[in-house]
Structure formats: structure tokens, C-alpha cells
Amino acid sequence: MVPDCPMGPEKPEWFRRANLARGLLRPGGMSRTATSLVCSIAVLCPSVVTAQLVDNVIRVGDEDFNTQAVSYVNIANCADPTNTEVEISLDTSGSGTVAYLWVGGGGDACQESDNRNLENAPCAEVDGSPQSIGTNSIVIITVDDLISTGVVDCEASGLQGSPYQIFSFRNAANEPPGTTDVGAGGYGIADFTVDVEPPAQPNITGDTDQLGSQFTVNWSTPDPPDNLFQYNLFEDQGGACSAMDGGASNPIDTGNTVSGTNNSISISANALGLESGDTTTLQVTATDQALNESDFSAEVCATSVPTGGFCAETDADGKKVNCNGCTVSAPGLGRLFDLQGVALLLAALAWMRRRGP
């Protein structure tokens, strides 16, 4: 026989739930151990019936993180903290019309009273709490509100950023968390990372002086490594390669990018708007997941010249250059036909010699 759970004089709620669970277990012939476990959970862990609330930082400034795994506060956000909003989407399973916001480092358990109330506690309340919960369970604060707690550091973060958590305490009575631990159903957690260190600049590894109608820039992965998002190609017609023209350096984003796992990018002279003989400077930057951008790489000089097949026919001054060993492309079929004519002539001479006079 499956035993009843211990009875209290007032038959509390936990007993009713345990007794219901026992009734569900009986038809399947569950063991005494299983029933005892149900009783124990109801007595010792009544909060298990309430799931942990999950909040999310869905926007920082102009950057939308609604569909991304990690939300970032970057260099630009920290440079203008008062005007940079942080939008938090609260779990709709929570109750109440206001939220008491606290912030702690990654792993700081702000739901525990000691981490909020003891001297030098790792968690601190965000200025302006409680915050009204707006339409669609949204709360909006600023980066400055986070910095003012003294917990969030916008000066140093490490190359891959420092993790933080925003705890949103809320309940039907709209009461603050107080001096006791808060159960799972009474707060939500929204994670974010502060990353104010840009990646190292890419190191150019390929040819840095290129002639032709197509140019390829190659580089090695920045060291030390970072969580890279993409590489960006810049053009500077007044850069180092064009200094002879007396132009001022002014790198312009070409809009050409490759993912952070790639190490080369190509672009045509036509896409750069180069005429024959024009020289421009190409450079690359790296962008991390927080959208911090590195310094410019070293320059690659790119000079536009007419091409036949895969090699330049003329140099930047219009002089013919050696094209030995280059493949001839379809538009230049005349050369191919010339070679075929020579071969036929040689074959004819050999045939005539064999016939004799």
C-alpha cells in the first residue's frame, strides 16, 4: 500500500498537492520512494511550482538585440550613457505593475538578501526604482542608470567583455525585495555584456602593391583573438599610396564586408570607380560582436590597368608589361587563333618535308 503523506492539523496547501500527486501515482504502481519524493518536494520546495522568470535586454541605443543570444553595451554607448536607452522586456508570467531593478555582475545572486543588504554587497539598486512596467511588459532605463550603481564598469571590460545581470523584482503587492531572499517567481533576470575594448587591427599578409582590374586584400586573424563579427573594406584615394597626388587621407567605407571567420576580400577597379592608371589605398578593419571597430590595417596599393586574361597588359604609365605565362581570356580570342595558326603552319612544313621534292 502506498502510504499517505504526513498530515498536519490544518491540512495545508502542500499536503493537498502531495495527496493529489499520490492519487495520480497509484494506478501506475509507483513505489514508496516516488511518493515520498513527491511529499518531500511539496514540503521542502513549495516554490517549484513557479518557474524562473526570464527577462531580456532587447535594445541598447539603436542596436536591436531581440533575436540575438547576447546583448552588448559598447564603446559608443558608454561614451553617451545619458542618451543611450536600455530596453528590457519582462517575462509576462510575473505579476505587479512596477519593477524594482537591481544590477549585479555575472553570477551574483541578487535574489539573496545578503547580496543586496550587507555592506559591500555585490548588487546595487538602479536609481529611479521602482520602474513602471509599460505596454508589452517593457521597462526602459539608460546606460547612465547602470553606471551610477557603481557595479557596471564602462571604463574597462576585457577584450571579450564583462557579463552583468539586471534583476527585476516584482510581485502582486508591488513591494520591494526587502531583507529576505526572493523566490524564483518574484524576480526575473536579464543578461548583458559590457565590451569597450575593440579588436586588434588585422595584419596584412598578401601582396601590398597590386596592378590590374581586380584586387584582393588578405590578412591574418587579429591577435589576441576576439569574438569577431565581420571585417570591413575601406578605400582611401588620398591615402599613402596616392600621396604623390597631394591628397589628404580620408578612408571611406566601401560597404564590402566579410564574416569574422574569413581572411580575404576582393573588389574590382570598376566597383571602386577607378579609371586606367588611377591608384587607391585599400585597408581593412575588424568589428567584434559588440560592434567595436579596430584601427585600420596597413595599406594595400591598388592601381587600375587594362588586363588581358588574368594579367596586366600595361603598367600605370601605359607602357606594355611582360605577360608571359598568363592565361588568355575569352574576349581575347585573337591571340588564341594566332597560336593555332602557327601550329598549323609548322604541321604543314613538317608534312611537306616528309613528302620530299
What's the CATH number where 272 sits?
A: 2.60.40.10
Task: Give the pLDDT score at 306.
Answer: 75
Is 131:141 a contact under the CB 8 Å cutoff? Answer: yes
- Of 38-47, 122-131, 232-241, 315-324, give the lowest mean pLDDT range: 38-47
Task: Give the pLDDT score at 307.
Answer: 67
Q: Is the pLDDT assigned to residue 153 strictly greater than 60?
A: yes
- Asked if residue 167 and residue 62 are part of one domain, the reply reads yes
CA dihedral 39, 45, 48, 54 (to 10 degrees): -170
332: in domain: no
- Asked if residue 159 and residue 115 are part of one domain, the reply reads yes
DSSP 51-74: PPEE-EEEEETTEE-TT-S--EE-
H helix runs in 262-331, sequence order = 269-272
- Residue where one domain finishes, among candidates 194, 219, 238: 194
- Asked if residue 156 and residue 63 are part of one domain, the reply reads yes
Looking at the chain, the whole-number percentage of residues with pLDDT higher than 70 is 71
- Residue where one domain finishes, among candidates 277, 304, 331: 304
- Asked if residue 233 and residue 190 are part of one domain, the reply reads no
- Asked if residue 87 and residue 214 are part of one domain, the reply reads no
Q: Is the pLDDT assigned to residue 337 strictly greater than 60?
A: no
357: in domain: no
Mean pLDDT for 11-22 is 53
- Asked if residue 45 and residue 57 are part of one domain, the reply reads no
DSSP 83-110: T-EEEEEPPTT---SEEEEEEEETT--T
Task: Give the pLDDT score at 340.
Answer: 63
186: in domain: yes
- Asked if residue 105 and residue 183 are part of one domain, the reply reads yes
Q: How far apart are CA 326 and CA 180, in angstroms?
A: 79
Q: How far apart are CA 207 and CA 203, in angstroms?
A: 12
Task: Give the pLDDT score at 12.
Answer: 54
344: in domain: no
- Asked if residue 145 and residue 158 are part of one domain, the reply reads yes
Q: How far apart are CA 345 and CA 225, in angstroms?
A: 61
Q: How far apart are CA 168 and CA 88, in angstroms?
A: 10
- Of 37-46, 61-70, 160-169, 188-197, give the lowest mean pLDDT range: 37-46
Mean pLDDT for 282-308 is 91
Task: Give the pLDDT score at 347.
Answer: 73
Q: Is the pLDDT assigned to residue 5 strictly greater than 50?
A: no
296: in domain: yes
Q: How far apart are CA 40 and CA 25, in angstroms?
A: 15
- Of 346 and 166, the structure prediction assigns the larger pLDDT to 166
- Asked if residue 229 and residue 180 are part of one domain, the reply reads no
Task: Name the band, by pLDDT with cuts 50, 70 and 90, for residue 18.
Answer: low
Nearest to 169 by CA among 268, 103, 71: 103
pTM, rounded to two decimals: 0.70
- Of 41-50, 200-209, 227-236, 347-356, give the lowest mean pLDDT range: 41-50
351: in domain: no
321: in domain: no
Task: Give the pLDDT score at 57.
Answer: 97
The winner for highest mean pLDDT among 41-55, 179-193, 231-245 is: 179-193
Mean pLDDT in the chain?
A: 81
- Asked if residue 266 and residue 139 are part of one domain, the reply reads no
Mean pLDDT for 194-201 is 95
- Of 24-28, 139-143, 291-295, give the lowest mean pLDDT range: 24-28
Q: Is the pLDDT assigned to residue 28 strictly greater than 90?
A: no
- Asked if residue 178 and residue 129 are part of one domain, the reply reads yes
Domain count of the fold of the chain? 3
Q: Is the pLDDT assigned to residue 25 strictly greater than 90?
A: no
- Tens digits of residue pLDDT in 60-79: 999 999 888 899 999 999 99
Residues 6+ apart with CB under 8 A from 83: 142
- Asked if residue 231 and residue 153 are part of one domain, the reply reads no
319: in domain: no
Q: 280 is in which domain, residue-wise?
A: 203-304
Taking 3-state DSSP, the helix, strand and coil percentages for the chain, each rounded to the nearest 5, stand at 25, 30, 45
